[in-house]
Amino acid sequence: MSAGNPGDRLKPATGATVGAALRVEGVHKSFDRLEVLRGIDLVVSEHDVVCLIGASGSGKSTLLRCINLLEPIQAGRIFVGDTEITARNVDLNAIRRRIGIVFQSYNLFPHMTVLENVTLAPRKALKQSRGDANAQATELLRRFGLADKRDEYPDRLSGGQQQRVAIVRALAMQPELLLLDEVTSALDPELVSEVLDVIRELANGGMTMVIATHEMSFARDIASRVYFLDAGVILEEGPPEQLFSAPREARTRQFLQRIIAAGRL
């Protein structure tokens, strides 16, 4: 797992909507009266790594859950590749197989071994044979340094190992798009880097990702574009060099200053 140089990666011209892996158009989301997303537009090209930053409660997790159709939206449209996933009569399960998501709290299945966690969906949703699924899972686990944890139960693993298993579990479905929701927030500081290294390696491999994160230096390092969410709208977006060094909006500056004051940039 080498810390890759972002420059190594083949980046398509930013802003190109042709071949967009993900397009979010005017998405509104409310929980009862509370409007959490108030018209979100977002385009992610293939092989792009987009980071979502913003204060707690600004709607980052909600946006990711909407993209994965775990939450219904009230208005707007979402496209993955050429498919409008928010259209009526789409097959939710088929769509979700194309989009991986990894949660802050890992959410591994505690009654299954690591191998069973990773092979469950390939076997039951993609109807892979046990042999094929096991072979693929074993290879992925080996790649991410988890080969010897194959037959352990999740509660015997460290937080960092659990989160890496959760990432492998999502990858086993060979998703077109991977959503990561603050995947290092629940980890002890010394375990953060092993998970970030995995994400770097995925970025170097060309995985298209949308990452909600509070790790600003990581975002600056890895993102092709950064979106700043504020109270349910995207207040500002741009390449990381620009957004972090010369933010246009006063609220973005405020947010970054608070982060700097907290020693996280």
Partner 1 sequence: MTARVSRETRAVAIALLSTAVLAAAIVVVATRSPGWGAFRAYFLDWAIYRDSFPEILHAFWLNVKLFLVAEVIILPAALFLAVLRSLPGPVFFPIRALAIAYADLFRGVPTILVISILGFGMPALGLSWLPQSEFFWAVVALVLVYTAYVSEVYRSGIDSVHASQDAAARSLGLSHGQSLRLVVLPQAVRRVIPPLLNDFIGLQKDTALVGTLGVVEAFKQAQIDQSATFNGTPYLVAATLFVLITIPLARFVDWLVARDKKRQQAGRAA
Contact positions vs partner 1 (CB under 8 A): 68, 70, 93-94, 96-97, 99-101, 103, 105, 107-111, 113, 120-121, 124-126, 151-153, 155-156, 169-170, 173
Residue 90, binding choice from partner 1, ligand ATP, Mg ion, none, Cβ under 5 to 8 Å by partner class: none
Among 45, 58, 117, 119, binds ligand ATP (CB under 6 A): 58
Element (H, E) at 229: strand 225-230
Contacts with Mg ion, residue ranges (CB under 5 A): 61
Site for ligand ATP in 174-193 (CB under 6 A): 182
Q: How far is the CB of 236 from ligand ATP (least distance, A)?
A: 15
Applying CB under 6 A, the site for ligand ATP has a residue count of 12
Residue 62, binding choice from ligand ATP, Mg ion, partner 1, none, Cβ under 5 to 8 Å by partner class: ligand ATP
Name which of 99 and 243 has its Cβ closer to partner 1.
99
**Strand runs (DSSP E) across 46-122, as ranges?**
49-54, 75-80, 83-84, 99-102
Name which of 227 and 244 has its Cβ closer to ligand ATP.
227
- Amino acid residing at 237: E
Residue 152, binding choice from Mg ion, ligand ATP, partner 1, none, Cβ under 5 to 8 Å by partner class: partner 1
Q: Structure tokens of 265?
A: 């940039």
**CA atoms of 217 and 223, how far apart (whole Å):** 10
Residue 59, binding choice from Mg ion, ligand ATP, partner 1, none, Cβ under 5 to 8 Å by partner class: ligand ATP
Among 45, 62, 162, 163, binds ligand ATP (CB under 6 A): 62
Residue 33 — φ and ψ, nearest 5°?
-85, -25
Grouping H, G, I as helix, E, B as strand and the rest as coil, residue 120 is helix
Residue with tokens 């158009």: 25
Element (H, E) at 119: helix 114-124
- Amino acid residing at 136: Q
**CA atoms of 69 and 3, how far apart (whole Å):** 32
Are β-strands 177-181 and 34-45 bridged in parallel, bridged antiparallel, or unpaired? Answer: unpaired
How many Å separate Cα 214 from the centre of its chain?
A: 13
Q: How far is the CB of 60 from ligand ATP (least distance, A)?
A: 4
Binding mask 28-47 for ligand ATP (x = CB under 6 A): ---x--x-x-----------
Residue with tokens 């298993």: 165
Site for ligand ATP contains 163 (CB under 6 A): no
Q: If we measure between CA atoms, which residue out of 159, 116, 156 comes closest to residue 138?
A: 116
Strand partners, 180: 102, 211
Name which of 228 and 244 has its Cβ closer to ligand ATP.
228
Residues that bind ligand ATP (CB under 6 A): 31, 34, 36, 54, 56-62, 182
